[in-house]
Copies of this chain bind each other. A is one copy, B any other.
Amino acid sequence: MPLPCRPPETSTSRDGKKRWAPTSRWSLPMSAEALAIESDFFAPRAAIDDLLSEFLTEKAQNASVPGQAALALLLRDFVAGGKRVRPLLCVTGWLAAGGRGDPAQAVRLAASIELAHACALIHDDIMDASDSRRGRPTVHRVLADHHHVPSTAQRYGLSGAILLGDLALVWSDELLHTTPMPDAHRVAVMRCVDLARSELIGGQHLDLLTTGDLHVSIETTMSVVRYKTAKYTIERPLQVGAALAGAGRQVMDACSAYGVPLGEAFQLRDDVLGVFGDPDRMGKSRLDDLREGKCTSLIVHALRASGPAQAGRLRALIGDPHLGEQEAAEVRDILTSTGARAAVERMIEERYRQALDALASAPFPHGASRILENVVETVVHRTA
């Protein structure tokens, strides 16, 4: 007797789009959704979004400690705005290592990655004393603005945001620990997750140590890029998903060979856009990076290539919290005339080639390779 062929469980969201249920009991391989994720990078997005929303709504509904429901809902709203780059790469990593059929476990792991990332962002906003993210007030601002005792509002905002970041990490762990996976794969999954997190922190710390210091070497700058972005955003999410599917050494190495240069290109493109990008498309000012005094690859190159007068101007302008449009234009001129911009574009191009070369020889299924090829194009040639 043939197995009864039920359609996959779907839910219809507010936007009217059908989505696969994150805890689908559908287990026959090659459902329409499974086929979709084999060719479309963004296909698992709705399932990741739904799982995060359901998980955090449930946390709010079942909160045992007074006050915790509000934290869960605040986190749900915060998380709703993300681009999901890391979780989508996690699902792609699972495909790249031969993952087939019901992607529910990869989606759960992907959602776990996104919650850990929420911790990083919430804490990062405290460290940068940022007032807004994604066009909305940051968590510490929201908490301070809504506190009932005005005299302690600032302190409550800071402390509450530290705690909410911690809670996001703890709930990320809960998703991780409740993702069913073969015991033989669990060790590698956990190892990649733990590594990704500690490398990010190492990169953030090195960034802190060097911010405001205009004498850092290009090697140090590239270390920040490697640990804070390349490994954390591309290499490790791919490997976490790949490990879930039981990837061997070859697949894991291919994830690195592809992910590290691509992640570096991603950050270098960010550095260029932060100063030369279109503010309207970027949704952020071109003054922020310069005012903050970030010693990006662009700045290091320019300082190395410029004469005493230009170097003096750069040192005077970079990190000036009152830097205006006119000074920013002056910095852009120096970055262009010293050849710094062109040098960074060459670095991006070189890494773009490396990532594509790695992909060409990677032992990934065709569908996963196609997706990762598109990711390279998007990352390198984006304008926002």
Which residues of A are interface residues toward B (Cβ below 8 A)? Answer: 63-68, 71, 119, 123, 126-127, 129, 149, 151-152, 155-156, 158-160, 162-163, 165-167, 169-171, 173-174, 177-178, 183, 187, 190-191, 193-194, 197-199, 201-206, 208-209, 211-213, 220, 223, 227
Interface pair B65/A166, CB less than 8 Å apart: no
Contact A67 B206, beta carbon cutoff 8 Å: yes
Given the complex of chains A and B, what is the CA–CA distance between A171 and B206 in angstroms? Answer: 18
Contact B206 A158 (CB under 8 A): no
Q: Which residues of B contact A197 (CB under 8 A)?
A: 166, 170, 173
Query: A68 to B198, alpha carbons, bound, how many Å?
Result: 9
Contact indicator B67/A149 (Cβ below 8 Å): no
**Can you list 29 pairs linking A and B with CB atoms under 8 Å apart?**
A63-B202, A64-B199, A64-B227, A65-B199, A65-B205, A65-B223, A65-B227, A67-B202, A67-B206, A68-B205, A123-B162, A127-B155, A127-B162, A149-B213, A152-B211, A156-B209, A160-B205, A163-B201, A163-B204, A163-B208, A165-B166, A167-B198, A167-B201, A169-B169, A169-B170, A170-B194, A170-B197, A173-B190, A174-B194
Separation of A165 and B191 alpha carbons in the complex (Å):
20
Chain B residues near A193 (CB-CB < 8 A): 173
Q: Are B71 and A205 in contact (CB under 8 A)?
A: yes
Give 8 A-B pairs besides A65-B205, A126-B162 with Cβ atoms closer than 8 angstroms: A67-B209, A126-B159, A127-B155, A167-B198, A167-B201, A171-B194, A173-B194, A183-B183
* B211 adjacent to A170 (CB under 8 Å): no
Q: What's the Cα separation between A79 and B147 when bound, in Å?
A: 33
| Min distance, Cβ A65 to any Cβ of chain B, angstroms | 3
Measured CB to CB, the closest approach of chain B to A359, in angstroms, equals: 25
What 3 A-B pairs are tightest by C-beta distance, nearest first? A65-B202, A127-B159, A177-B190
Chain A interface main SS type: helix
Which residues of B sit under 8 angstroms from A162, Cβ to Cβ? 123, 126-127, 162, 165
Complex CA–CA separation, A149 to B201 (angstroms): 21
A77 to chain B, nearest CB (A): 17
Contacts of A152 in B (CB 8 A): 211-212
Cα A123 to Cα B159 in complex, Å, equals 8
**Contact yes or no, B170 A198, CB < 8 A:** yes
In the bound complex, how far is the Cα of B193 from the Cα of A65, in angstroms?
Answer: 17
Query: A175: nearest residue on chain B (CB-CB)?
Result: B194
Bound complex: CA A63 to CA B201 (Å): 12
Q: How far is the CB of A197 from chain B (nearest CB, A)?
A: 4
Give bound CA distance, A126 to B152, whole Å: 15
Q: How far is the CB of A149 from chain B (nearest CB, A)?
A: 6
Q: Quick one: which of A151, A169, A198, A199 has the most chain B CB within 10 A? A: A198
Closest beta carbon of chain B to A229's beta carbon, Å: 13
A206 partner residues in chain B, CB cutoff 8 A: 65-68
